[in-house]
Amino acid sequence: QVQLVESGGGLVQAGGSLRLSCGTSRGTFSNYGIGWFRRATGKEREFVGRITWSSGYIDYAEFVKGRFTISRDNGQNMVYLQMNSLKPEDTAVYYCAARRTVSSSVAIAYDYWGQGTQVTVSS
């Protein structure tokens, strides 16, 4: 099992950047898929991006392609979400999630969730 710990949220102006981190305080990410999701106030949770640890496969939601980048650090057992060119509509609580084997764009497929980190983009 893994226990996810997120960090890196904050307040940034439109056009700015933030990097979110997702690690585990228990276990390792080997043979796990990691997903990033977000939930804005009054909206449904939505898929942002995902990575399958074993294959390195990465996929993004259309609305973040070209702006957000997922990467990993094998040695540190960390997954990152680099967010550039942020827009006010990116304001949300961001979550990382994990499931065994491959990643998914579907939230209910994930078994483990981080506590969430707030990202606020001012105009």
H-only helix segments in the chain? none
- CA dist 97 and 113 (Å) reads 4
- pLDDT for res 75: 86
Residue type at 110? Y
DSSP, res 25: S
Mean pLDDT, the chain, as a whole number? 96
H helix or E strand, kind and range, residue 97: strand 92-100
- CA dist 36 and 113 (Å) reads 10
67-106 pLDDT, tens digit each: 999 999 988 899 999 999 999 999 999 999 999 999 999 9
Q: Helix, strand or coil for residue 89? A: helix
